Amino acid sequence: LRAVTLGGTGPTTVVKMVSLKLQKRLASSVLKCGRRKVWLDPNEVNEISMANSRQNIRKLVKDGFVIRKPQKIHSRARTRRALEAKAKGRHTGFGKRRGTREARLPTTVLWLRRMRVLRRMLSKYRDAKKIDKHLYHYMYMKVKGNEFKNKRVLMETIHKTKAEKTREKNIQDQFEARRVKGKAARERKHARREARQASGQTGEVPAPAAPARPAKK
């Protein structure tokens, strides 16, 4: 409501209150803001009260009788400073903690983070052909079984398993090579023996004859 002087300047001055609710509503619609952000010039109450359409309000806005108040400054400097201190570890003692340890950082969240990190690492190793699908599945199930606490332990286990598999493969290859070599030697020996038998040279030394026993009297 605005006070408007109708006549006289002495003790008989009549003052009438003018309602500018309509003008404020129209101005908020034109300026695209709330009614509390609309400023009406108190020196131009008569002219403003005559405006009853959005077109008239636009003219008043152009003339500067109706303006949109600037947004109030809500500084975050103090908040940023406090957060920077907290990032350094300040203001985080027992006296500043309101929730329990589980409420502040649930074990479920820690588990999810660890699982995602380890599974992502396994996927990268598999895509890079560092491990095959069988070792990937074997390690995946061990990860799910809570056997590795971080990436370093998982990496060491992968290298150790690969080294063990390589050693076993080398031993198996050596055993297979010895087996093949022995089999080839036996086949050659058997072939030579058959060849000698075919040519009549067995190469066997005959056993000496037993001495004759004297006859009993």
Asked if 48 and 23 count as a contact pair (C-beta separation under 8 A), the reply is yes
The pLDDT of residue 18 is 86
The pLDDT of residue 217 is 56
What count of Cα atoms within 13 Å lies in the side-chain half-sphere of residue 213? 3
Mean pLDDT by 10 residues, the chain (217 residues): 60 70 96 96 94 96 96 95 97 95 97 98 96 96 96 96 93 92 92 87 55 64
Q: Of 88, 27, 37, 89, whose CA–CA distance to 58 is shortest?
A: 27
Number of C-beta neighbours around residue 57 at 10 A: 25
The pLDDT of residue 14 is 56
Asked if 13 and 20 count as a contact pair (C-beta separation under 8 A), the reply is no
The pLDDT of residue 216 is 65
Number of C-beta neighbours around residue 33 at 10 A: 14
Model pTM above 0.85: no
The pLDDT of residue 42 is 94
The pLDDT of residue 10 is 54
The secondary structure of 56-112 as a DSSP string is: HHHHHHHHTSEEEPPPPP---HHHHHHHHHHHTTTT-SGGG--S-HHHHS-HHHHHH
Q: Residue 203 in 3-state DSSP?
A: coil
In terms of C-beta density within 10 A (0-12 exposed, 13-18 middle, 19 or more buried), how is residue 47 classed? middle
Element (H, E) at 141: helix 133-144
